[in-house]
Structure 1
Amino acid sequence: MIKNITFLIILLLFSLSFAQKRKAPPAPNEAGSSFIKKNFKPKPFSNSIKSFPFKKTSKIKLISYNLDFKREPFDTPPPPDDSLAIKKYENRKKPVRLETILGTENLNGIQQQKNLNLLEIRQLTDIMHNTCSRYTTGLLSESGCYFPRNAVLFYDENDQVFAYLELCFECDGNKQEPKNLFEEDFYCENIYGLLEKFFNTAGIKTQYLEVK
């Protein structure tokens, strides 16, 4: 009898020890959840449109440019005594800068453009204000060289561009004018993927178009 009780006690202790070592299975989508704010509340559209630059804009446009350049070309001047090489160099096609495009009357250099409707503006504000703000820490890492092909242009009531957000989806980088236009909303990588999908859904290309 005593031997049976001793055996049961040993078996019970072994079972308890084994149970303590087992880990409960992770909850669904738990990976990386430590960076997500538990009390995060999305910023409603009614508040987003009251903030700059949305409160000032009368029109928002998506654009693309430099789609026919795989990357920034090296600028190697030709020999000073080679007239043919000099002529080709002077007539070669060059990538354009957004500042140069905006400095022309007809925005020369734009390859694609799309004016956003109200639903698309709502989607844009949701991406801008409710993506990175849900995280408690920055998760952004840039890669590659900055060679932008896209931008979001903000127009005032006089149909003039007063602000813009330039984007490079190949290196996850941006340039803003005025500076810090969306500074607090660009410290996570997720936002670039969402914005690129937004551009593509609107019919605006974001990557190099190889000519066949």
Structure 2
Amino acid sequence: MISRIFIIVFSLLFTFSFSQKKKKAKNLLAEIHRYQHGEINTSYKPIPLQKRVSRFPFDKTTKVKIIFYNLNYKGAKGYTPPPPPVTKQDSINLKTYYENLKKYKSVEIKDLIKDINPKGIQESKTLNLTEISELSDVLYNTCHKYYVSYTSQSGCFFPRNAILFYDESDRVFAYFEICFECSGIESFPKDMMDSFEACEFLYPDLEKFFKNKGLTTEYVP
């Protein structure tokens, strides 16, 4: 009799526990789908400046510079015609050929930062403290203003802009590469930003920042 009562009580408790778990799972699912992707986050609280600049690489840098490069690079690898015959009368044509060929080659950021004064940078600006504060606000606070359900990136990535971080020896130790034309950002070292911080809503504000500082952000024919 006692064992029968125990079985009945256990069954009731199991049923109640299962229903509670099912209810919690249902409520959690409802909470996830409560907000639409891109909806304004009304409970958003900006990350304060002190906390933003205590993050790497801002905490290790002595200078921050934003740059523009790949001015003439279209960002597409098309057919490359063969060079003309190498003869005396074709030397001018050969020179023109190689000059034109350079327009189809992209500049790599790793090559740009090897020298203290790299020649491949076509536009640049060293940021003051106020501008560094503004930049960190754009990087770390923009996406938190929205409900972000997912992040995605276009297949293309032809960066023309970058944020460079310099150490005490005036050498670049970290950077962000940005392609505004296909909304992509990569960093060195990797994972300097959370994936949700690099959501689609970041790029319009970040591009506006670059343009306000006088830098080009897209292909110039």
The CA deviation string for residues 126-174 of structure 1, in whole angstroms up to 9 with x for no partner, is 1111111233434434336211100000011221111000000000011
Q: One-letter code of the match for 1:186? A: E
RMSD of aligned C-alpha atoms? 2.5
Instruction: State the TM-score, normalized to the length of structure 2.
Output: 0.71
AA aligned to 2:176 is: L
Does the Cα contact within 8 Å between 2:211 and 2:217 map onto a contact in 1? Answer: yes
SS of the residue corresponding to residue 164 of structure 2 reads strand
The residue type equivalent to 1:190 in the other structure is F
Distance change in 2, residues 1:95/1:122 (3 Å): same
Identity %: 44
Q: Are 1:46 and 2:46 counterparts?
A: no
What TM-score do the two structures reach when normalised by structure 1?
0.74
- Given that residues 169 and 196 in structure 1 are in contact (C-alpha distance below 8 angstroms), is that contact kept between their aligned partners in structure 2? yes
Alignment of structure 1 residues 72-83 onto 2, 5 Å: 72-74=76-78, 76=80, 78=82, 82-83=85-86
The runs of 5 or more residues in structure 2 that have no matched partner are: 1-34
Residue 65 of structure 1 is aligned with which of 44, 69, 72? 69
Give how far 1:182 is off: 1.3
Is 1:192–2:203 an aligned residue pair?
Answer: yes
Post-superposition offset of 1:107: 1.3
More moved, 99-108 vs 110-119 = 99-108
* Kept in 2: contact 1:64–1:113 (CA 8 A): yes
Unaligned ranges ≥5, structure 1: 1-30
CA distance in structure 2 between the partners assigned to 1:137 and 1:191 by the alignment: 11
Q: Deviations over 1:57-108 (max 9, x none)?
A: 11100000012223334363617x8435766554432321111111234212
Residue 106 of structure 1: aligned partner: 117
Counterpart AA for 1:68:
N
**Equivalence for 1:23:** none
Counterparts of 1:45 and 1:60, CA distance in 2:
16
| Cα shift readout 1:12-68 (whole Å, capped 9, x = no counterpart) | xxxxxxxxxxxxxxxxxxx95874444321101111111111111111000000122
Moved more, 187-196 or 97-106: 97-106
Following the alignment from structure 1 to structure 2, what is the Cα–Cα distance between the partners of residues 34 and 166? Answer: 24
Count, aligned residues = 179
